[in-house]
Amino acid sequence: MEDLLAGAMMLARWDVLAALLVGSIGGVIIGAIPGVGPAVAIAILLPATFAFDPIVGLTLLLGIYGSSMYGGAIPAVLINTPGTAVNALTSYDGYPMTQAGEAHRAVSLAYSASFWGGMFGILCLILLSPVLAVIAPMFGSREIFLAALLGIILVILAHRGQIFAAGMLAMFGIFLQTIGLDAVTYTQRYTFGLSFLSSGVNLIVVVLGLFALSQAFFLLTAPDESPDAKPIKGRMSAGLKELMGHKRVATVASGFGVVLGMIPGTGEFTAQFMSYTYAQKTSKTPERFGKGAPEGLIASEAANNAVPAAAMIPLLALGIPGEALTAMMLSVFYVHNVIPGPQLFQNDIDLVYGLYFALIALNVIVMVFLLFSTNLLTRIIRIPTRFLGVMILILSFVGVYSLRNSLTDCMIAAGFGVLGLVLKRLNLPIVPIILGMVLGGIMEVKLRSALPRLNTPLDMIDRPIAAILFAMILLVVALHIRALLGELRNHNAGGDHDLHDSQMR
């Protein structure tokens, strides 16, 4: 109880409240503009947050992460262009509603479902905390190594249809983090005699290049567009009442969001697909799906908004990020010498509770903001895409250069920007590179520290949690092979889709 109060008190500071307000409202606006997503915004702001207290920096980033999907629903519903790619399924039923003259109903349903999903996710996070506090300390070096390995495998396998590319990029990420002076043996690795490589390749520089600069290059090299969203008329609170008639779908979808949010590499997109399929299968009018079914819209929005809180679970409890945004947040923890993982729940539990309260507050702020300002956002959406590219380029400079005032960093970031553009054009995933860097670093450190206690390789899995994790790795691989063989038998290789865009913006 004392910790809960201390956590609540953390928010009662003007700078934290300001960060919460700016983060959540900024996140909605960023989410609403097609072409900029939370990853771009978080990458740009990341170095600026290093100067703040951990709670201030994390609240700001969490605000953007948690609220961007609310905003992303607006263009998905109004102009059939998802603001963030995880709102893709929202447009399936939202846009037909707009065409039928029910835009306000669709938008308010999307907000209400998002709010439901967001709050459900936080509730699960709070309820799971005592369990996490008990389980997390059971994770030693071996267990964290195996969990990170499981994370890498899941990230690769989650990219169905592009597993080879995802594997290659994850391995590239692991390789990137090995460059520089080895911290234990003090030997150079792949520095080619270049002094600037001795300190390694900075994760933030790579993140800024791959997410922010690549998006700027992507927009600047593509034809100019200016999305046109019409203002909405009608009561925005109508959706709340309608949502109450679909509580089952909203709750199950949020449940999918929570479970899949906790598993590295899966996240919003898989959660959205699974809950949409569930909603369609259990609906009395499945034929309405894709033509303006409220359950479809609710399933999609509730699922993706339940993910941010759930994604914090592996990050806070084990220090293992499941996707790019939490990987970026991990660097904020590291910069402030707060190491997420088992000790966090013992030493800094007030910070954990502070983050929970911040998540609750941001959902409320966003909901209130959206009820009154949706029409303002429809005007912001109209920013021409190339102009947006110019602005992202200018903002990226602040992010890269403020790190350590290095022109070399800018050149490296520009190089990764071009790589990111190529990957985006080919619709290949970017996230495996980032997770490869982060999880690769964790694997190297943890395997080394586990070594003195290992006499045979089997000692690696002689503890219960390690054995469970190992069994999960085997199960995941076996299930994948089974699915692959089934696909081979049915000759149904996947067609082109925008799946991986979800992980880029």
Is residue 456 near another protein by the rule CB under 8 A? Answer: no
Nearer to another protein, 185 or 337 (CB): 185
By C-alpha distance, which of 211, 210, 178 is closest to 197? 178
Instruction: Return the range that interacts with another protein (CB under 8 A); candidates 163-171, 236-244, 261-269, 340-348.
Output: 163-171
Residues 44-103 that bind another protein (CB under 8 A): 47-48, 51
Task: Compute the least distance from the CB of residue 10 to another protein, in Å.
Answer: 21
Instruction: Return the range that interacts with another protein (CB under 8 A); candidates 280-288, 314-322, 370-378, 424-432.
Output: 424-432
Q: Where are the alpha helices (DSSP H) in 426-501?
A: 431-450, 464-490
**Which residues make beta-bridge pairs with 189?**
180
The C-alpha atoms of residue 106 and residue 238 are separated, in whole angstroms, by 10
Residues 332-371 that bind another protein (CB under 8 A): none
Buried b (16+ CB within 10 A) or exposed e, 312-338: bbbbbbbbbbbbbbbbbbbbbbebbeb
DSSP state of 501: G
Q: How many other CB atoms are there within 10 angstroms of residue 37's CB atom?
A: 29
Task: Compute the least distance from the CB of residue 416 to another protein, in Å.
Answer: 10
Is residue 187 near another protein by the rule CB under 8 A? Answer: yes
Task: Compute the least distance from the CB of residue 239 to another protein, in Å.
Answer: 34
Is residue 376 near another protein by the rule CB under 8 A? Answer: no
Buried b (16+ CB within 10 A) or exposed e, 443-469: bbbbbeebeeeeeeeeebbeeebbeeb
The C-alpha atoms of residue 221 and residue 206 are separated, in whole angstroms, by 21
Nearer to another protein, 234 or 494 (CB): 494
By C-alpha distance, which of 55, 28, 43, 103 is closest to 297? 103
Is residue 290 near another protein by the rule CB under 8 A? Answer: no
Instruction: Return the range that interacts with another protein (CB under 8 A); candidates 26-34, 93-101, 301-309, 398-406.
Output: 398-406
Residue from 85, 165, 431, 469 in contact with another protein (CB under 8 A): 165
Is residue 428 near another protein by the rule CB under 8 A? Answer: yes
Residues 224-283 that bind another protein (CB under 8 A): 224
Residue from 8, 137, 427, 463 in contact with another protein (CB under 8 A): 427
CA dist list (Å): 149 to 201, 207, 261: 21, 21, 17
Residue from 188, 225, 259, 335 in contact with another protein (CB under 8 A): 188
Q: What type of residue is 253?
A: A
Is residue 140 near another protein by the rule CB under 8 A? Answer: no
Number of residues forming the site for another protein (CB under 8 A): 74
Instruction: Return the range that interacts with another protein (CB under 8 A); candidates 82-90, 229-237, 360-368, 492-500.
Output: 492-500
Task: Compute the least distance from the CB of residue 170 to another protein, in Å.
Answer: 8
The C-alpha atoms of residue 366 and residue 331 are separated, in whole angstroms, by 26
CA dist list (Å): 77 to 106, 232, 291, 341: 7, 11, 12, 39
The C-alpha atoms of residue 138 and residue 366 are separated, in whole angstroms, by 37
Is residue 458 near another protein by the rule CB under 8 A? Answer: no
Question: How many contiguous H segments (helices) and E segments (strands) does the chain have?
Answer: 21, 2
Residues 6 or more apart in contact with residue 379 via CB below 8 angstroms:
none
Residue from 448, 453, 468, 479 in contact with another protein (CB under 8 A): 448
Residue from 61, 306, 352, 414 in contact with another protein (CB under 8 A): 414
Is residue 394 near another protein by the rule CB under 8 A? Answer: yes
Is residue 21 near another protein by the rule CB under 8 A? Answer: no
Coil vs helix vs strand at 189: strand
